[in-house]
Amino acid sequence: MTLLPNKQRTISLFLFLFFSFTKAYTQNVDILFSGIRSVKGQIIVKVYVDEKGFDDDKPVRVMKFPKRAIANGEMREKAILEPGSYGFALLDDENNNGVMEYSFLRMPKEGFGFSNFYLTGMKKPRFGQFVFTLPKDQKVNIGMKIRYL
């Protein structure tokens, strides 16, 4: 079955507009993970848009990055998001099970980190401490230094 020329043009126009619209409203985020201690497992990044989502552990998106091309404890990856405000929370999932492992004292056994914020204390940070803005038509660089206890 062949499409009529008018139908082909309509479908082509729809696809062009769809992909143009999608591309116009997404931005690149370059992420530098640093302080990686092992090539085992994966890096999991949860994306939050507000304090409530972070407090309730309800991310709007979860990104998983296999550990590859690690040099001097660093790895670079890219993400594509719509313009807006976001906060990233990272898990260095060394055993590849998708969840944070804890010691019997409830201390994290795997690495963790936050977008452009290094947690020095023992208390969970507030969303406002690691939130960043992704403006329209701009690429953003995010640093995520991993902490191990």
| pLDDT tens column, 116-126 | 999 988 889 99
- The answer to whether the predicted template modeling score (pTM) of the entire model surpasses 0.85 is no
Q: Tokens 């001097």 label which residue? A: 72
Mean residue pLDDT of the chain comes to 89
Give the pLDDT band of residue 4 (cuts 50, 70, 90): low
DSSP letter for 141, please.
E
User: Measured at the alpha carbon of residue 59, what is the angle toward residues 92 and 44, in degrees to the nearest 5?
Assistant: 15
Q: Are 112 and 90 in contact (CB under 8 A)?
A: yes
From the candidate CATH numbers 1.10.1200, 1.10.20, 1.20.1070, 2.60.40, the one assigned to the domain spanning 26-145: 2.60.40
For the chain, how far is it from start to end, CA to CA, in angstroms? 64
pLDDT digits (tens, 9 = 90+) for 27-80: 899 999 999 999 999 999 999 999 999 999 999 999 999 999 899 999 999 999
What tokens appear for 98 in the block?
């998708």
pLDDT of residue 8: 64
